[in-house]
Chain A
Amino acid sequence: MIATRGPYSEVIRERWRRPRFRRAPAGATLVAEDVNPLCGDRVRLMLRLDGGRVAEAGFVGDSCAICTASADVVAELVSGKPAAEARALEPADVLAVLQADIRPTRMRCVTLPLSVLAKALNGGGA
């Protein structure tokens, strides 16, 4: 049995197996997608804005457990927030939820959904 779980905290494992926000919100107004050139991971984030607030967020993607969990956390954290507040989301906020020991080589897996978020809030695009 593999004793060391490396970066795979309970939260990451749970969100990888059962992401809560892996869905395409109906009527999403802001959509963005990006690829991590290092690994080919792809994340697409979809937001429905309502009166300057993120009324609903969802994501789809082809990505590793860390990146998927991060996207799930990002979607959760921005839901219901004013766009300006969503824009201020930082890696530390995501890491605080993930509760994982992420090495520098895998930090891009955490930050990819955040850069897609910034892209979406700036009007989206692929």
Chain B
Amino acid sequence: MTLHELTRGDFPILARVVNGHPLAYLDSAASSQKPRTVIEAMSQYYERSHANVHRSIHTLGEEATELYEAARDRVQRFIGAARREEVVFTRGTTDGLNLLADALCAGLAPGDEVLITEMEHHSNIVPWQLAARRQRLALRAVPITGPGLLDLDALDRLLTARTRVVAFTHVSNVLGTINPVADICARARRVGAVTVVDGAQAAPHLALDMSVLGCDFYVFSPHKMLGPTGIGVLWGRRERLLGLEPTRGGGEMIKEVWIEHAEWNDLPWRFEPGTPPIAEAVGLTAAVEYLEKLGMDRVAEHERALTRQALAGLTALPGVRVFGPPAGVERGAVVAFAVEGLHPHDVAALLDAEGIAVRAGHHCAMPLMRRLGVVGTSRASFSVFSTPAEVARLVRAVADVRAVLA
């Protein structure tokens, strides 16, 4: 049985008819759909166990706390983290990156350098800009080469004795490029820089193992991997987390509070002020269980096959330009493309009229768009429930859109 045959019936939303056509949801890179088990786990939690977590001496409070902390254990195993206290729950990738930019840059001196890349999502650019402005840091970006790979020679040139942080994406949300995380981290370590990896597009598709990636921090968004919105994961190497001063205060992140000062709680709660996303953590557990049951290797293989099919189909169409690494180079489950003579929004609108959901625009990566010399692209992306028939529909529809507007 192919993977989508196995999963298809588990996603209630896929039964929808959109504009008279069965929905072909090819926008999982923006946010994936959710299996029934995730939806039910969350409503069950609200129907049976909801209370605030920690410090509750009543039964429901204890159940909620257990469920919340069980999500941490589940994520720890899923990403190969050495210890549970290395897993911090945030509100999403963006939230995690803001937290890291604030905390990592707080102690830096004017003229210290932060290095990002040209292929970053705005959420891995703007938080560093804000921190750079506050601390008067220099913000630099590693360029990409023609085919959309990071220019590692340029990386070496940009790494200096003053580079304090190197923040980069594991998988590009536009190009699909899979960056060599361990290699980049090894180079960054040579100059003593801390490494931050944006795993938003990797966690849904690749088996992760923090013990071999070699980075100091890794962040991702469960809503892109079959889980709920509103929760994020920030993994940090224990020594690194211990070295960070919290930048956000509130309940839960403290041990003792006086009027003028406070003593921080232990890891990971030190970085989780306020009531956390509890139902979302429950949903996250169900999402991880779902993915583990399928097996991440099988998930990756399924999505690779769909990506290959889409690349081959779209590349063969006249007037269609496909972005990203050349065929044969492994990439994530996204295919960005442009149709000659058409604006990406019009492509997406015409595909939507056929029930096909793709994303169009700058994909929150304006510097990359500028580098590629386009205002935007259309982008199809795939998940465990995507099918070869949907990819075939996409390719046929893209072939047709030119007749309408071009």
Contacts and interface: CB of A to CB of B under 8 A. Distances in A.
Interface of A: 1-2, 4-8, 13, 16-17, 38-42, 62-66, 68, 106, 109
A97 B199 CA distance: 47
A4 B343 contact: no
Given A39-B361, A40-B369, A65-B405, 9 more contacts: A1-B403, A5-B350, A6-B350, A13-B405, A40-B362, A40-B376, A64-B346, A66-B346, A106-B345
Contact of A8 (B350, B360, B361, B362): B350
Interface string B354-376: 10000011100010010000011
B353 A64 contact: no
Nearest to B362: A40
A2 B397 contact: yes
B403 A65 contact: no
A2 B349 contact: no
Contacts of B7: none
A3 to B, nearest CB: 8
Contacts of B126: none
B19 A2 contact: no
A65 B343 contact: yes
Nearest to A1: B400
Interface centre among A4, A38, A63 (most CB of B within 10 A): A4
Contacts of B19: 4, 6
A6 B397 contact: no
A42 B360 CA distance: 15
B352 interface: yes
Contact of A2 (B342, B344, B376, B401): B401
A6 B369 contact: no
B404 A64 contact: no
Nearest to A4: B353
A6 B405 CA distance: 12
B354 A65 contact: no
Interface in B65-82: none
Nearest to A68: B343
A16 to B, nearest CB: 6
Given A40-B361, A40-B376, A62-B375, A2 B404 contact: yes
Interface centre among B20, B349, B354 (most CB of A within 10 A): B349
Given A2-B397, A16-B405, A39-B361, A65 B353 contact: no
Nearest to B347: A64
Interface in B192-218: none
Interface string B113-143: 0000000000000000000000000000000
Contacts of A2: 350, 353-354, 397, 400-401, 403-404
Contacts of A41: 343, 345, 375
A17 B404 CA distance: 10
Contact of B354 (A4, A8, A109): A4
Interface centre among B343, B346, B362 (most CB of A within 10 A): B346
Contacts of B352: 6
15 contacts: A2-B400, A2-B401, A2-B403, A4-B20, A5-B404, A6-B349, A6-B352, A6-B353, A8-B350, A39-B361, A40-B376, A41-B375, A42-B375, A65-B346, A109-B345
B351 to A, nearest CB: 9
A38 B375 CA distance: 12
Given A1-B400, A2-B400, A8 B405 contact: yes
A8 B346 contact: yes
Given A13-B404, A40-B366, A40-B375, A63 B343 contact: yes
B86 to A, nearest CB: 37
A1 B353 CA distance: 12
B353 A5 contact: yes
A70 to B, nearest CB: 13
A4 B404 CA distance: 10
A20 to B, nearest CB: 17
Contacts of B376: 39-40
Nearest to B355: A4
A41 B353 CA distance: 21
Contacts of B353: 2, 4-6
A7 B349 contact: yes
B296 to A, nearest CB: 34
A120 to B, nearest CB: 22
Contacts of B360: 39
Interface in B387-406: 397, 400-401, 403-405
A104 to B, nearest CB: 13
A16 B362 CA distance: 21
Contacts of A65: 342-343, 346, 405
